[in-house]
Amino acid sequence: MTEPIVNSIMINQIGPEEAHLVAGLFNQYRIFYNQFSDIGMAKAFLDERLQNNESIIFAAIDRNTQKTVGFTQLYAKYSSVKLSKNWILNDLYVDTAYRKQGICEKLIKKAMDFAKTNGSTFVQLKTAIDNHIAQHLYESIGFVKQGNDEEFFLYKIALNS
C-alpha cells in the first residue's frame, strides 16, 4: 500500500531566489482566472514581490518527486485599530493531478500558522461565488463568510493568539 500523497507533501516558504519553483503553477493559476499565459511575466511578477518583501509564498513540494505541486501567496493587510499586520491569502493553487488530496488544506493551515506566529489577528481570502468546492473547504477549516460582491465571497478567520 502506498502512502497517501498528502503525507509526502512538505510545505516550505520560498525566498526570492526560488520564485522559479512556483512560476509555472502561478501561470496556470492566472490561466484558471482567464488571464493570458506568459510564464516569463509570471516569474517576473513573483520575483518582484519576493525581492521587495511584498508577499509570502509557500510551496507544496512532493518529497518523492521533488515536484512543486501547489502554492499559496499572502499579502500583508494592516489594522490600525488592532495594531496588527494581518494577511490576505490571495492566491491558492494546486496542480490538477494533485487535487482532492488535502494539499490545499495543508497550504492554508501553513499560512494560518505563519500568520499566528507573526502576531496576526486574522487571515482573509476571497473566492468566486460559483466555487462551491473551495467554499466548503474554507468553511470546514473555520473561515466565516463576511459578505460578497458580484463575483466573490469574502471569508475571514480569526486567529487566537
Question: Poorest-confidence range of 17-21, 77-81, 100-104?
Answer: 77-81
> How many whole angstroms separate alpha carbon 51 and alpha carbon 99?
30
CA nearest neighbour of 96 among 158, 161, 28: 28
- C-alpha to C-alpha distances, 104 to 24, 37, 109, 127, 150, nearest whole angstrom: 17, 23, 9, 14, 25
Look up the CATH number of the domain holding residue 144: 3.40.630.30
> What is the arithmetic mean of pLDDT over 33-59?
96
For residue 84, give its domain range: 5-158
Query: Based on the structure, what is the number of domains in the chain?
Result: 1
Condensed to tens digits (0 to 9), the pLDDT of residues 122-160 reads: 999 999 899 999 999 999 999 999 988 888 999 999 997
pLDDT category at 15 given cuts 50, 70, 90 is very high
CA separation (Å) from 78 to 81, 84, 119? 9, 6, 12
Neighbours of 105 (CB within 10 A): 14
**pLDDT given for residue 79 in this prediction:** 84
